[in-house]
């Protein structure tokens, strides 16, 4: 029951209750939530109060409405800060999610085109090409293609890239990762990506390209990642100059 004598407004208590059910996955993505009438009877509160709670949850992206059908649970998006050069493994572990990797490609190829410029290599120099599906708690989050100069990242094996690449680079190779530049674009999933990400062709995805450098300014990696648009949102702290 909700506490009507509490100084915390009842609509807010209901909001928190529903959010809790979503976080605990008692209410899952796509589930229809009970109607205003049912919720008002269940919690013995006015329909106005229920409506206020639901409006707020719709506004905040936890729920969405379909006209004539009902109100549904939206997907639980991961909110990822844009500042801070972190790895996928670190990002998921810090949220209590279990990171996993499905390895699609692990090859050494001669550098060509954009790779030559971005990684400052000579034409034909060997690069590791690693294509991985990154999962969190068994759900595919992103499809990542990484290019690394072989001369810098020695001894890399398939076993290493099932785990954390950054950990291998820093802990095992003793290299210091310094900074990166990253672009982020909206696009839609291509046919070749849909199966790995378990989404429909044409679903919104975020395309991220990261160029990372060692602390000594050497180009370290070029990574092209396709993130599921329904699982991610990015945040950034802005400071007025």
Binding site for ligand 16G (CB under 6 A): 87-89, 144, 146, 164-167, 208, 210, 221, 223, 225
8 A C-beta contact, residue 230 and residue 73:
no
Q: How far is CA 89 from CA 98, 226, 241, in A?
A: 8, 16, 33
Report the nearest approach of ligand 16G to the CB of residue 84 (Å): 10
8 A C-beta contact, residue 186 and residue 206:
yes
Rounded to an integer, what distance in angstroms lies between the CA atom of residue 213 and that of residue 209? 13
Cβ-proximal residues to 181 (8 Å cutoff; 6+ apart), any chain: 210, 211
Report the nearest approach of ligand 16G to the CB of residue 217 (Å): 17
Report the nearest approach of ligand 16G to the CB of residue 141 (Å): 9
Q: Which is nearer to ligand 16G, 181 or 216 (CB)?
A: 181
Report the nearest approach of ligand 16G to the CB of residue 9 (Å): 39
Q: Nearest-5° angle of CA 156, CA 160, CA 166?
A: 90
Q: Which is nearer to ligand 16G, 15 or 91 (CB)?
A: 91
- Return the structure tokens found at 221: 């990696």
- Backbone φ/ψ region at 206: left (φ over 0), alpha (ψ -120 to 50), beta: beta
Q: Which is nearer to ligand 16G, 58 or 93 (CB)?
A: 93
Report the nearest approach of ligand 16G to the CB of residue 128 (Å): 11
- Return the structure tokens found at 207: 């395309």
Main-chain dihedrals φ then ψ at residue 92, nearest 5 degrees:
-75, -45
Q: Which is nearer to ligand 16G, 76 or 89 (CB)?
A: 89
Q: Which is nearer to ligand 16G, 58 or 207 (CB)?
A: 207
Instruction: Tell me how long the chain is.
Output: 241
Cβ-proximal residues to 96 (8 Å cutoff; 6+ apart), any chain: none
Q: Which is nearer to ligand 16G, 62 or 227 (CB)?
A: 227
Report the nearest approach of ligand 16G to the CB of residue 221 (Å): 6
């Amino acid at each position: 029951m909700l506490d009507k004598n509490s100084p915390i407004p009842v609509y807010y208590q209901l909001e928190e209750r529903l959010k809790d059910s979503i976080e605990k996955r008692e209410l899952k993505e796509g589930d229809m939530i009970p109607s205003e009438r049912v919720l008002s009877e269940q919690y013995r509160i006015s329909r106005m109060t229920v409506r206020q709670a639901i409006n707020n949850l719709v506004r905040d992206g936890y729920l969405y409405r379909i006209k004539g059908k009902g109100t549904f649970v939206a997907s639980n998006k991961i909110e990822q800060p844009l500042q801070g050069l972190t790895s996928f493994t670190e990002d998921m572990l810090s949220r209590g999610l279990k990171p996993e990797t499905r390895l699609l490609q692990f090859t050494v190829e001669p550098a060509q085109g954009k790779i030559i410029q971005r990684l400052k290599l000579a034409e034909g120099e060997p690069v590791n090409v690693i294509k991985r599906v990154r999962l969190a708690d068994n759900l595919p989050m992103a499809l990542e293609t990484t290019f690394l100069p072989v001369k810098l990242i020695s001894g890399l094996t398939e076993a290493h890239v099932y785990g954390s690449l950054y950990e291998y680079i820093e802990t095992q190779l003793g290299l210091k990762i310094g900074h990166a530049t990253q672009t982020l674009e909206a696009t839609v999933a291509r046919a070749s990506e849909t199966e790995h990400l378990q989404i429909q062709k044409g679903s919104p995805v975020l395309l991220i390209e990261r160029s990372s450098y060692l602390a000594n300014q050497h180009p370290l990696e070029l990574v092209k990642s396709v993130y599921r648009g329904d699982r991610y949102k990015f945040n950034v702290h802005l400071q007025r100059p």
